[in-house]
Amino acid sequence: MPTAGKSALVAILMGSDSDLPTMQSCIDQLKAFGIDPIVRILSAHRTPQAAMEFAANASENGIKVIIAAAGMAAHLAGAMAAHSPLPIIGVPMQAKEGPCGLDALLSTVQMPPGMPVASMAIGKAGAKNAAVFAVQILALSDTELAKRLSAFRKAQTEAVLKKDAELNT
């Protein structure tokens, strides 16, 4: 996967390495669309300066969308939004202890006016949807990516219709 020095359209930031097993579905989904993301571990609380510098420089480094995954207080997506004009997609993560990720969901979704974060579902479904949402954003100005997105949506439709037909035969 690209490192911080290489150009990528999407950056995936995680507050902890414990988030990687969940966020792997995001990484894999982006790669299926032909996007090799930058993947970093940066914390809004433990590495605030590094996180701020990453967000502040992301646009000039060619990044178009930032996906930020964090649990508990889940301030990473909000910290990215505070320091970057780019679209930020937040993925709330479930901590080992606590209210099953609801704390992270509320921290991610409750942003002040003028500081939006697109909030996904908690965990793996949210991670995969973050990738697809990033692709939807990028496909607005990339016709090849738009074609891949259309094929992806068509394949999803066909898979459901096939299962329905199998159920009813």
Q: What is the DSSP code string of 129-156?
A: HHHHHHHHHHHTT-HHHHHHHHHHHHHH
| Mean confidence (pLDDT) of the chain | 93
Q: Which residues of the chain have pLDDT under 50?
A: 1-6
pTM of the shown model: 0.93
Residue 16 and residue 110: Cα distance in Å, rounded? 21
For the domain spanning 10-142, the CATH number is: 3.40.50.1970
Q: Where are the alpha helices (DSSP H) in 43-85?
A: 48-58, 76-83
pLDDT score of 96: 80
pLDDT, one tens digit per residue, over 123-160 is 999 999 999 999 999 999 999 999 999 999 999 999 99
